[in-house]
Chain A
Amino acid sequence: MSLAAAAERAAESMSDDAGALLAAVRAAVDGHRMPGPEMRHAIARLDDPALLRRIGRLLSRLDSAGDSAGDSGGDSGGDSGGDSDGDSDGGRLRPVRVAVLATCTIGPFEHLLRASLVGAGLCPAIEAGDYGNFDAALSTAAFAADGDPDLVACLLDDSLFLPRDWAAADLRVLCEHVESRLADLRAMVAAGLARTSATLVLHTVPFPGEVRDGVIGSRARAALAGQWYRLNAALLDLAREHRHVIVVDLVGVLAEAPFAARDDRLHRYGDLPYTDGALLGLATEIRRVAQAKLGLSRKVLALDLDNTLWGGVIGEVGAAGVQLGGLYPGNAYLQLQRAVQRLREQGVILVLTSKNDAELVEQALRAHPEVLLRSEAFSVSAVNWAPKADNLRRAADSLGLPTESFVFMDDSRTERAHVTSELPEVAVVAADGDPAHLVRSLLRPGWFDVVDITDTDRRRPELYRERATRTGFSAEFGSAEDFLAALDIQLDVRPATDFTVPRLAQLAARTNQFNLTGERYDEAATAAMSTDPGHLVASCAVSDRFGDEGIVGALWVRRAPRTWRVLNLVLSCRVLKRGIELAVLDWLARQARAAGADTVEGRFVASGRNGVATGFWPSAGFTRTPADGVFRLDLSSFSGVSPAWITLRDNATRTE
């Protein structure tokens, strides 16, 4: 065998998992395919920066604008298919354009970011800014050659804020310089934001040890560190000042990282101040932002019980014998229950999936004094001996959510492997090993991140519990109309307010099934349109006999004197098949006619995921025009399309 042949075999010296994953990614790239869901989850679980860097470099050979990109994920529906070779669902990855600006060499950050984004189900097109051009690019919003990216990831280091040299004898000068540079950055951010609709992602910056340790006076050193903390606090505040700025706490991430954050050799050699591990930490945070912004956050947490939510097997030790609370390891399981409870308070829907005797589990959930997550905390409970993948499918049906929105946590490697093999789109969290790590294992990936938490988020677990009840109720009726009439549906459509704009932007990002045009207006754009007389943005809230669904729909309209043009109408999959969309359109048509318009115009843009909405415009009385995908309603002959079973609330008639 030649040396070259031996070199080809050298990959065999890598670990099984790493070598196999690398080979699979290479095969996918060679076949011009994005990795499939199973491969992506394997990438997402990686914490080896060297391997991720290599994977990211391989993935950079794919043309992200090519046939492997597409629309995917989010709030609603979708196939659960895909394979580990990475072809079948590559076409459903959500495209994301990211520009990277840096105050140092970008280096491997681009590859690490790409691998992280692909691992999260995104199809990234990354454009790296020129070296040494940070200030100019940020100030002029010169991020990308062909229009605004979705995100501008800023890689910052201390050189942005520190002078080349400083005098230890008078630290006031150094502090003033830091403050001055912070002011410069504020001005650059403001100037850039005035020219772009992209979201800027900034981060806190570690205080360099060589500056800290260069000051030998303890009080002076503490004062300088205080200045640096104030700098980072000011950076974090930028997110409150600007809707299009998100700031991640890199310093906090690095404080808990088990590796060095800095590499002095590479800093001096190539202006690469951070290690690959630190850059991966930042890439992970930016991936979480991208996931949240593009609506790929997960909504459902399906949990095992034995050795996950408590220690021990209840079938063997009885309800009183499980480890929960008290000293280790019971305290570790209690901490996990607390963490899960907090997720629920923020809108994560809980599903219980346990192979156990249901009565015994019910007894423990009801009577064990340390249990925090009682039965009512779970929107769906599947305690039986069925395969867990089947239970997850049933839970998804019952909740009306796709399994793509599920995270599954279980201590059994076998159960996890079975779920991964049956439902590769489900994110899996391992709960085996030392229970002390349970909370970190669940939270660190940030599967549930959203940009802002809305009232609907907080109420979601209860809403979905009601929905599961509603699904059972529907079986009692002979016809769909009888069922819908018995629901007593109330619809409230009203113009957007400052309070509802975040929820409307969230619906734009997350909704895929009933999304007529695919236009995803973010919070800033929605807010701007909501106050512009030439536009109308409206929220649609629904309630029925089982409870209040909250805001489940959003409408963006351009208003001209004679024609009102629907820019997009989206509706959560929670309320599909009830005629809500027709009632909303009925409301809009009446508003337009009252304002003196004679036509309402709408568009349908097929996305591959919105087939459920294909026939919406004709069903609402619109006629097709010669223009592609454009439909028109003549208001002079409009007589209403709202279903009889929906009541429009009185306050919905207000337009401004």
Chain B
Amino acid sequence: MRERIPIGRIPVEAIVLDILSDVLNESADDLCERPILASHSWDSMASLEALAQFEHRFGVTLDLRSFHAVRTVDAMVVLVEDAVGARSVPASLGVLPDSLID
């Protein structure tokens, strides 16, 4: 059986990217190359879908006004990181288990 990796050992930005990638049906590479959300299908339904997933996955409640003001992937990462607070590990991939590092 696959080992579950504690959420604290995955960078917040990776999970945010995974969720945005899932919601927008775009690859993570595409989102990194074009980080402005409006350049993808970031409509009200997509944003609410992402909001639901962020809040569920991280167990946080995001401020809707701040969420609504977000324009880019990077800004979204910052917003979620702020909400997650100390649980976030900055973008050091070294925290991932060896088995997950290419």
Is B2 in contact with A3, judged by CB distance below 8 angstroms? Answer: no
CB of A276 to closest CB in B, whole Å: 6
A269 within 8 A of B: yes
CB of A331 to closest CB in B, whole Å: 37
B15 within 8 A of A: yes
Is B52 in contact with A7, judged by CB distance below 8 angstroms? Answer: no
Is B91 in contact with A13, judged by CB distance below 8 angstroms? Answer: no
Chain B binding surface, main DSSP class:
helix
Contact bitstring A1-44, B, C-beta under 8 A = 1, else 0: 11111111111111110011000000000000000000000000
B5 within 8 A of A: yes
A53 within 8 A of B: yes
Give residues of chain B (1-38) contacting chain A, Cβ–Cβ below 8 Å.
1-2, 4-7, 9-11, 13-15, 17-18, 21-22, 27-29, 31-32
By beta carbon, the residue of chain A nearest B17 is A7
Among the interface residues A2, A8, A9, A266, which one has the most CB atoms of the partner chain B within 10 A?
A: A9
A50 within 8 A of B: yes
By beta carbon, the residue of chain A nearest B19 is A10
B101 within 8 A of A: yes
Is B2 in contact with A16, judged by CB distance below 8 angstroms? Answer: yes
A629 within 8 A of B: no
A108 within 8 A of B: yes
Is B100 in contact with A4, judged by CB distance below 8 angstroms? Answer: no
On whether A1 and B28 interact (CB within 8 A), knowing A6-B96, A9-B10, A11-B18, the answer reads: no
CB of B13 to closest CB in A, whole Å: 7
A352-B34 Cα distance, complex, nearest whole Å? 61
Is A3 in contact with B13, judged by CB distance below 8 angstroms? Answer: yes
CB of A51 to closest CB in B, whole Å: 8
* Residues from chain A with Cβ under 8 Å of B69 in the complex: none
Is B10 in contact with A12, judged by CB distance below 8 angstroms? Answer: yes
Is B32 in contact with A4, judged by CB distance below 8 angstroms? Answer: yes
A57-B49 Cα distance, complex, nearest whole Å? 10
Is A12 in contact with B52, judged by CB distance below 8 angstroms? Answer: no
A8-B91 Cα distance, complex, nearest whole Å? 15
* Residues from chain A with Cβ under 8 Å of B57 in the complex: 13-14, 50
On whether A8 and B13 interact (CB within 8 A), knowing A16-B4, A107-B48, A270-B48, the answer reads: no
Is A276 in contact with B2, judged by CB distance below 8 angstroms? Answer: no
CB of A2 to closest CB in B, whole Å: 8
A9-B64 Cα distance, complex, nearest whole Å? 28
A355 within 8 A of B: no
Is B48 in contact with A8, judged by CB distance below 8 angstroms? Answer: no
CB of B95 to closest CB in A, whole Å: 10
A52-B90 Cα distance, complex, nearest whole Å? 30
Is B7 in contact with A53, judged by CB distance below 8 angstroms? Answer: no
Is A13 in contact with B5, judged by CB distance below 8 angstroms? Answer: yes
CB of B7 to closest CB in A, whole Å: 4
A5-B14 Cα distance, complex, nearest whole Å? 8
* Residues from chain B with Cβ under 8 Å of A164 in the complex: none
By beta carbon, the residue of chain B nearest A268 is B64
* Residues from chain B with Cβ under 8 Å of A54 in the complex: 22, 53
On whether A4 and B2 interact (CB within 8 A), knowing A10-B17, A12-B10, the answer reads: no
On whether A1 and B96 interact (CB within 8 A), knowing A15-B4, A270-B44, the answer reads: yes
CB of B8 to closest CB in A, whole Å: 9
* Residues from chain A with Cβ under 8 Å of B28 in the complex: 3-5, 7-8
CB of A394 to closest CB in B, whole Å: 33
* Residues from chain A with Cβ under 8 Å of B101 in the complex: 1
A265 within 8 A of B: yes
A5-B27 Cα distance, complex, nearest whole Å? 10
A107-B44 Cα distance, complex, nearest whole Å? 10
Is B15 in contact with A3, judged by CB distance below 8 angstroms? Answer: no
A396 within 8 A of B: no
CB of B46 to closest CB in A, whole Å: 10
Give residues of chain A (281-298) contacting chain B, Cβ–Cβ below 8 Å.
none
* Residues from chain B with Cβ under 8 Å of A332 in the complex: none
Is B11 in contact with A6, judged by CB distance below 8 angstroms? Answer: yes
Is B2 in contact with A10, judged by CB distance below 8 angstroms? Answer: no
Is A10 in contact with B14, judged by CB distance below 8 angstroms? Answer: yes
Give residues of chain A (209-228) contacting chain B, Cβ–Cβ below 8 Å.
none
Contact bitstring A236-280, B, C-beta under 8 A = 1, else 0: 000000000000000000000000000001100110100010000
Is A7 in contact with B14, judged by CB distance below 8 angstroms? Answer: yes
Is A13 in contact with B48, judged by CB distance below 8 angstroms? Answer: no
B93 within 8 A of A: yes
Is A13 in contact with B53, judged by CB distance below 8 angstroms? Answer: no
Q: Please list the residues of chain B having a beta carbon within 8 angstroms of any beta carbon in chain A.
A: 1-2, 4-7, 9-11, 13-15, 17-18, 21-22, 27-29, 31-32, 44-45, 48-49, 52-53, 56-57, 64, 68, 91, 93, 96, 100-102
Would you mind naming 26 contact pairs between A and B with Cβ atoms under 8 Å apart? A1-B93, A2-B29, A2-B32, A3-B91, A4-B17, A4-B27, A4-B32, A6-B10, A6-B11, A6-B93, A6-B100, A7-B21, A8-B18, A9-B10, A9-B96, A10-B18, A13-B6, A13-B10, A14-B57, A19-B2, A20-B2, A50-B53, A53-B52, A54-B53, A266-B48, A270-B44
Q: Please list the residues of chain A having a beta carbon within 8 angstroms of any beta carbon in chain B.
A: 1-16, 19-20, 50, 53-54, 57, 107-108, 265-266, 269-270, 272, 276
Q: Rank and list the top 5 A-B pairs by shortest CB-CB distance, nearest first.
A: A4-B28, A50-B56, A7-B17, A10-B18, A6-B14
12 more A-B residue pairs beyond the given contacts A8-B28, A50-B53, with a C-beta to C-beta distance below 8 A? A3-B14, A3-B32, A9-B10, A10-B17, A11-B18, A12-B100, A15-B4, A16-B2, A16-B4, A19-B2, A53-B49, A107-B45
